[in-house]
Every structure is written in C-alpha cells, then in structure tokens.
C-alpha cells in the first residue's frame, strides 16, 4: 500500500480522544489502537524507503528504566531520534531521587522542555503502573498550573500490568503474517506459560497479549499450570472483550491442549501472580531470608513443569503443524541459553527470523505512540511530513 493510502486510512479514524499517555491498551478505543498500528506501519514504510519522519526541530525524550533492558531501550532511542528528539536517561542512582525527592517534584523538574517520557517499571506487582500514573498526574498538574509550557506525553515501556509496545508490535506482526486485522478473526492464538530455569518474570507480556488480542475476534487460549494465573482484572477484561469482538477466551491447564489446531503460539514463562505478590511484599520489607526461600520454592514449583517446553512435538499439534511461533525475546532456549527452557533449539531456529521481524516493529510502534500522544493535531502534521517527503540521508 502506498504512503498516501496509509495516510488516508489513518485520517478516517477517530483519534480525537487519544490523550497524552499510553498506559494500557484497553484504555484506548479500537480506532486509537488501529491508528497507533497504522501509523507505525506508515513510519516503517517511510524508513524502508529512506524517508525522514522527523517531527521536532529540538526536544527531549526522557527514559526511566527501573529494570534492565536492551531492546526496549534501543527501540525508545530509535523512535525518539527518528522524530527529532534527543534521549536523556534519568538514572535514579545518579539523580537526587535517591535523596528522597517526591515523584511529583522530579517529574516537573525534568519536564520543562520535555516532549516525551518513557517508563519501564515492571518488577513489583501493584507498583509500576501506579508510578506511571503518578508521573502522568504530576506533569498534567504542572501543565495546568503553568509550571510546564507543554504537557509531555507518557509511554508505558512495560509495567506490572501491561506491555503495550510489545503487544502492539505483536499485533503488527500478526497483521503482516495474516494479511489484515480482519483475517485475524477466528484465528486461534495460544498464549502459553512455558518452563524457565529462572523465576520472577513479569506478567505483563501474557496480560498484554490476552488484553489486546481478544479485541480482534480471535480465539484466545491462555494456558498455564494450576497456580500460575494472571491478575484477575485482566482475565475478566479478556473474557468480556472476547464476547464483544465475537471471538473467545478460554483458560486451560495443558500446553498441548492450547497448541491443538492453534494458528499462533506464544510460549513464554512468567511468575505466578501470587508469587509476585508475595515477592513484592518481601522486597518491600527487605526480608532476604523470605526472598531466598520464596525463590527456592518457586523454582522447585517451576521444575514440576519442565515439560512445558515448545518443542517440535507440540508444534506438530498446531494447525497443519505450521503455527506461527512468537516471543518477545530473549527466549530461554534449550541447549542454547539454558539446559532446559521455554523452547527447543530446533523450533526457535526455524522461527528466529520471525521473532526478529516481530521485534522490529517496536521502534515504530513507540514512535507512533509518541507522535499521537504528543501532538495537538497529528493528522495535519503527518500530512505536512508526507508532503515534504524529505530523505533521511
């Protein structure tokens, strides 16, 4: 599809209530989700054609990473740079946050000339998203009070509840793999827990997937061993969305059952909701012995499900044995990154290229969120950019 057609598609959507922040996909209307996706595709197409979509003459994009990250960090840096923003990382060790500044004050102090703030805070249940909302509220109030001349947009780069830049990249991948969003209707996706030799992985990826894919008429199956449930609110939401979209949502305790006749499989480890809750409490109270025994217990529990591995045998159960394998990366690959992991070497190798492609949507998804959240009139600006057709080199 040419650039102008892509633009026309976006211009027809209602994004008048998009808002400044992208915190949870289910806070956005279908039109807003689709606009985010289409704009990301448009930016990607421009990048492939060597065209610039620089939007800002100058401006800052601040990142706050409260967990390690490679791909999200560089996706954020790439997105900001492509729009013309310089990245400045708020390193909480170097800053005076360590000195007891309130979130409100810091959020304002860093935002005087800032256009975008991206936050990753996914370690503690009940904390990450709440922190983002606190920052969002602080800069909104700062703007209303006249402290800030402009209200920075906020992008959730992964929290305890959702991972919208990931789930939307995954949606972009699915759209490309199956031809259109319409074609996703009736397709079966198995979001399955998988074994990992580590513990404490966030719940945001599976929650993000069931929270987004149930909106597109897909047959979404969540599979996990008993006791590895997700946050109840997200489960409720997924059920309701599935009904509304004409799809389905079910939970099974058997990986093979989930894989059976699936068009797409997404095998990925996570920590049980209850373990994460307990862990958050122990971390807060600084109970090291408690943490050690929780880890031991959790790993021992994981070990009971070592057969939850995505191997060729399970892949053969999928639709024509050819389901699309997805992963947010990095995967725990048996005999590569660990002795026994989420996926066998053979399966991963076959789909490696696809997982890279999946990841490649992320910088454009983030750029799209920044653009739609920050600009007063994104469609006009987009028109202007497409009219200029400036080369990047």
Contact positions vs a second copy (CB under 8 A): 47-48, 52, 54-60, 62, 65, 68-71, 73-75, 77-78, 81-84, 86-88, 90, 94-102, 105-106, 108-110, 112-114, 142, 145-149, 329-330, 336-338, 353, 356-357, 359-360, 362-363, 375, 381, 390-393
Q: How far is the CB of 375 from a second copy (least distance, A)?
A: 7
Closer residue to a second copy (CB): 146 or 232: 146
Could you tell me which residues are beta bridge partners of residue 224? none
Can you read off the two tokens belonging to residue 159? 């929290």
Closer residue to a second copy (CB): 202 or 217: 202
Q: How far is the CB of 297 from a second copy (least distance, A)?
A: 23
Can you read off the two tokens belonging to residue 144? 């209303």
Can you read off the two tokens belonging to residue 149? 């001349």
Q: How far is the CB of 206 from a second copy (least distance, A)?
A: 19
φ/ψ bin of 138: left (φ > 0), alpha (ψ from -120 to 50), beta (otherwise): alpha
Tell me how crowded residue 333 is: count the other CB atoms within 10 A of its CB: 21
Q: How far is the CB of 290 from a second copy (least distance, A)?
A: 24
Helix axes of 71-83 and 362-374: crossing angle, nearest 10 degrees: 50
Beta-strand relationship, 264-268 and 188-193: parallel
Q: Are 233 and 189 in contact (CB under 8 A)?
A: no
Q: Are 267 and 221 in contact (CB under 8 A)?
A: no
What SS3 class is residue 163? coil
Q: How far apart are CA 344 and CA 349, in angstroms?
A: 9
Closer residue to a second copy (CB): 210 or 343: 343
Q: How far is the CB of 364 from a second copy (least distance, A)?
A: 8
Residue 374 CB contacts under 8 Å (≥ 6 apart), including other chains: 20, 115, 116, 152, 153
Closer residue to a second copy (CB): 232 or 387: 387
Q: How far is the CB of 219 from a second copy (least distance, A)?
A: 29
Q: How far is the CB of 204 from a second copy (least distance, A)?
A: 16
Closer residue to a second copy (CB): 133 or 345: 345
What's the chain's length in residues?
Answer: 393
Cα pseudo-dihedral 212, 366, 341, 338, rounded to 10? -170
Closer residue to a second copy (CB): 103 or 244: 103
Closer residue to a second copy (CB): 117 or 234: 117
């Amino acid at each position: 599809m040419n650039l102008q057609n892509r633009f026309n598609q976006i211009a027809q959507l209602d994004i008048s209530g998009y808002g400044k922040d992208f915190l949870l996909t289910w806070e956005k209307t279908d039109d807003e989700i689709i606009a985010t996706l289409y704009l990301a595709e448009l930016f990607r197409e421009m990048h492939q054609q060597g065209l610039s979509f620089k939007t800002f003459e100058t401006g800052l994009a601040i990142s706050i990473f409260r967990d390690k990250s490679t791909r999200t960090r560089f996706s954020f840096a790439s997105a900001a740079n492509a729009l013309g923003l310089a990245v400045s990382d708020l390193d909480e060790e170097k800053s005076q946050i360590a000195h007891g500044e309130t979130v409100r004050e810091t959020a304002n102090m860093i935002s005087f000339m800032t256009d975008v703030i991206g936050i990753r805070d996914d370690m503690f249940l009940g904390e990450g998203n709440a922190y983002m909302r606190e920052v969002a509220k602080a800069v909104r109030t700062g703007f209303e009070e006249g402290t800030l001349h402009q209200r920075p947009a906020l992008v959730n780069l992964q929290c305890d509840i959702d991972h919208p830049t990931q789930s939307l990249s995954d949606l972009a991948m699915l759209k490309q793999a199956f031809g259109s969003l319409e074609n996703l209707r009736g397709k079966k996706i198995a979001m399955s827990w998988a074994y990992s030799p580590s513990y404490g992985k966030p719940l945001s990826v599976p929650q993000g997937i069931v929270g987004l894919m149930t909106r597109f008429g897909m047959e979404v199956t969540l599979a996990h061993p008993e006791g590895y449930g997700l946050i109840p609110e997200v489960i409720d939401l997924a059920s309701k969305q599935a009904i509304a979209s004409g799809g389905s949502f079910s939970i099974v305790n058997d990986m093979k059952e989930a894989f059976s006749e699936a068009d797409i499989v997404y095998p990925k480890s996570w920590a049980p909701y209850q373990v994460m809750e307990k862990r958050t409490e122990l971390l807060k109270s600084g109970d090291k012995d408690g943490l050690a025994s929780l880890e031991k217990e959790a790993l021992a529990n994981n070990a009971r499900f070592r057969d939850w591995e995505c191997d060729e045998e399970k892949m053969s159960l999928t639709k024509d044995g050819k389901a699309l394998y997805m992963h947010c990366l990095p995967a725990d690959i048996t005999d590569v990154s660990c002795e026994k992991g989420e996926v066998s070497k053979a399966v991963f190798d076959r789909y490696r290229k696809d997982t890279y492609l999946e990841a490649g949507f992320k910088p454009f998804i983030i750029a799209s969120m920044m653009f739609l959240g920050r600009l007063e009139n994104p469609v006009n600006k987009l028109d202007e950019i497409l009219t200029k057709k400036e080369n990047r080199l």
